[in-house]
Structure 1
Amino acid sequence: METKEIKKIFAAAEDFLPINGTDFIELYVGNAKQAAHYYKTAFGFQSLAHSGLETGNQNYDSYVLVQDKIRLVLTSPLKAGTPVGKHIDQHGDGVKAIALWVDDATYSYQETVKRGAKSYLKPETRKDKHGEVVVAAIHTYGETIHYFIERKNYQGVFLPGYERWETSYQPAPTGLKYVDHMVGNVGWGEMNQWVDFYARVMGFAQLISFDDKDISTDYTALMSKVMSNGNGRIKFPINEPAEGKKKSQIEEYLDFYGGPGVQHIAVATDNIIETVTAMQSRGVEFLNVPSSYYDTVLDRVGSIDEDLEPLKQLGILIDRDDEGYLLQIFTKPVESRPTVFFEIIQRKGAQSFGKGNFKALFEAIEREQELRGTL
């Protein structure tokens, strides 16, 4: 990756780090080898790098997958009683780390800790024959951490300690391009605490706020605020539960995950119809919305470039803001616990997050909760 000047688009963000983009997302999983096969087969990721017994790593087994600008790291313990294993026991498979690509990891660490972040990993330089990477990390909500990754002096495949993962099985990509945003679920009354954290500690700005009047159905509700860095490449909506007649999706997540954590990863595509068609054909399950949603959707959002029928057949939702429109769809949870899921999003100018779809989406989630007996 080459560093280049990145335009600041949100003036309210102090943006003192700055952040170039998402470097990788690390999930702790029960069986990294099998999880890697799933994300390759179902999502179209490609093999990139591996760290494990074969590379001299006696503690954990990690597989790195790539699709365009998205890197997933899937990590499993090799022995009992490890921190990785304890995390999986507590939370199930889930996101441990959101790694941020920065020009200066030491500066990023020092500035965030100075502003109140709790240290997870002091800056350290990791080297191999391909150069060096500076890595540091801070704690965020729950047991989630942010790595700061400085790789301007590194030419290797991923990080020191990893070797290229060569495999004959390389399914075709599905058109996923980059991480659009990542959503964190936090506990009752904790949303503003973490909104303040991202503003004060990391220099982010609040873009949008949704209260329980915006995000509610007849039964459940939640509140959400969206934080972004200055260049808009890192967006973190933060959700908390709100009072409703029944248990909300956020409460269900907190119960099964065992506390706050990353709820979903939104990944962008340039052609959502092709991407979702490919993913469905490979076995990815998406939430279903009633066909009646499409009877009036164009009255609400106006004209769009796409034919409505394929969107209806796939269950893709549509919303519009002042900048344009977006197309989005959500997978069912990809783990045994009803926790982590993915969003596929195509932006046609819109910078928002699908407020007009909240009711239809949450009713779809409630139908799944009812099947699970957790509503």
Structure 2
Amino acid sequence: MGAQEIDYVELYTADAEAMTDYFRSDLGFALVARSAGPGRDSVLLRQGTARLVVTTGEVTGAFVEQHGDGIADVAFRCDDVTATRQGALAAGAVDADVPHGGPAVSGFGSVVHTLLPATGTADGLPAGFGWVPSGESRGERPERIALLDHIAVCVERGSLDSYADFYAAGFGLTRYSAESVRVGASSMESVVVRSDSDGVTFTLVAPGPSEGSGQLDAFLSRNDGPGVQHLAFLVDDIVAAVREAERVEFLNTPGTYYDALGSRLAGMREEIADLRATNVLADRDEWGYLLQLFTRSPHPRDTLFYELIQRRGSRGFGSNNIRALYEAVELDRLAAR
């Protein structure tokens, strides 16, 4: 019983045209279909198996006013929708209304989870929207993104264990790893939970028990509570993907990082020039190498950003992956003061 795959994530935004252009022109998504309903206009974007629904209109008003642009729905494919709903309610969730039907239950903050059968729909499109295929082709740009690798969820200080327990009891996700990172006066704690199928992975992050106020405190303030901090997309070639995303603003990496990278990762010495030129971070775990880079937020309230990640054998979410995110964002935040 539980969540097996992420069917789609739905972004509520005040400017659907700008965000659709960002995902299509800058990150290479294809526009697959459109949908219109009472107080709602949506587009479906796809690259690899990653599916994004971008929605604007009256139904998004209260969410966007409170949180700014953000992920409002992380839809799960479930082995048994009825049993998953009952398990989620028993774990503390409540039934939630979504404009395109349901069933749906509450998750974290204002984010809900629409529950869908594992078999999907006959036309392969997310259920309940009444899609009209766009008829558009993706053009000649290579399809770099293969799938949605993980979702980072920012929650309140001291709440990690309760959220991890909630997703274990309600959706069948299990704890994979935990980490604590400190940078200067601020700190972060994290717990990774994932489904047995590996189709759902949440990196739950929260401010640590430190005296200073850091990036996660700032996110919780801007977002007015818990929410999706970033979406991480798995790519086939991160250097090529970054070079093709010419208009995307990525975080900068200090040159000293690459000065030490050759001795730390001897197997990547020949690639350091390309990594330096694109600001890509590199590390490894016991299974292999991990390459990643984080965008600056393209949203007005700086509430959501994105990650490109390439795995060369690496399977985990240990300290190096999580520390790289926190340190990169924290250094960028401090430099902007």
Query: Quick check: TM above 0.5?
Result: yes
3-state SS of paired residue (1:201): helix
Q: Which amino acid aligns with 2:104?
A: A
Using structure 2 for the length normalisation, give the TM-score: 0.91
Matched, 1:156 2:123: yes
Counterparts of 1:5-154 in structure 2, within 5 Å, are 16-17=1-2, 19=4, 21-52=5-36, 57-77=37-57, 79=58, 82=59, 84-121=60-97, 135-150=102-117, 152=119, 154=121
The match for 1:326 is 290
Q: Which amino acid aligns with 2:48?
A: D
Residue 360 to residue 208, structure 1, CA distance change in 2 (3 Å): closer
- Structure 1 residue 157 displacement after superposition: 5.4
Indicate which of 183, 192, 215 corresponds to 1:249.
215
Residue 306 to residue 94, structure 1, CA distance change in 2 (3 Å): farther
The match for 1:7 is none
3-state SS of paired residue (1:189): coil
Counterparts of 1:214-233 in structure 2, within 5 Å, are 215-233=181-199
The match for 2:230 is 264
Matched, 1:180 2:146: no
Q: Distance in 2 between matches of 1:171 and 1:75?
A: 26
3-state SS of paired residue (1:120): coil
Indicate which of 252, 266, 281 corresponds to 1:317.
281
Q: Which amino acid aligns with 1:328?
A: Q
Percent same amino acid among aligned pairs?
Answer: 30
Matched, 1:364 2:328: yes
Q: Distance in 2 between matches of 1:68 and 1:232?
A: 16
Contact 1:48 1:64 in 2 (8 A): yes
3-state SS of paired residue (1:307): helix
Q: Which amino acid aligns with 1:154?
A: T
Q: Distance in 2 between matches of 1:352 and 1:187?
A: 24
Cα shift readout 1:137-177 (whole Å, capped 9, x = no counterpart)? 11111011111112637323523411112347857245011
| Pairs aligned (count) | 335
Q: Which amino acid aligns with 1:194?
A: Y
How large is the RMSD of aligned CA atoms in angstroms?
A: 2.4
Q: Which amino acid aligns with 1:146?
A: H
Residue 305 to residue 139, structure 1, CA distance change in 2 (3 Å): farther
3-state SS of paired residue (2:2): coil
| Greater mean alpha carbon deviation, residues 361-370 or residues 64-73 | 361-370
- Structure 1 residue 231 displacement after superposition: 1.9
Cα shift readout 1:117-142 (whole Å, capped 9, x = no counterpart)? 322259x9x9xxxxxxx942111110
The match for 1:190 is 159
Q: Distance in 2 between matches of 1:35 and 1:338?
A: 14
Q: Distance in 1 between matches of 2:134 and 2:88?
A: 34
Q: Which amino acid aligns with 2:22?
A: Y
Larger radius of gyration: 1
Residue 102 to residue 359, structure 1, CA distance change in 2 (3 Å): closer
Q: Distance in 2 between matches of 1:240 and 1:50?
A: 36
The match for 1:352 is 316
| Greater mean alpha carbon deviation, residues 87-96 or residues 235-244 | 235-244
3-state SS of paired residue (1:370): helix
- Structure 1 residue 68 displacement after superposition: 1.1
In the alignment, structure 2 segments of 5+ residues that lack a partner are none
Contact 2:182 2:188 in 1 (8 A): yes
Q: Which amino acid aligns with 2:225?
A: G
Contact 2:84 2:170 in 1 (8 A): no
Residue 111 to residue 366, structure 1, CA distance change in 2 (3 Å): closer
Q: Distance in 2 between matches of 1:306 and 1:138?
A: 49
Residue 313 to residue 28, structure 1, CA distance change in 2 (3 Å): same
Q: Distance in 2 between matches of 1:370 and 1:236?
A: 27
In the alignment, structure 1 segments of 5+ residues that lack a partner are 1-15, 127-133
Q: Distance in 1 between matches of 2:284 and 2:117?
A: 37
The match for 1:238 is 204
Contact 1:24 1:98 in 2 (8 A): yes
Q: Distance in 1 between matches of 2:224 and 2:120?
A: 39
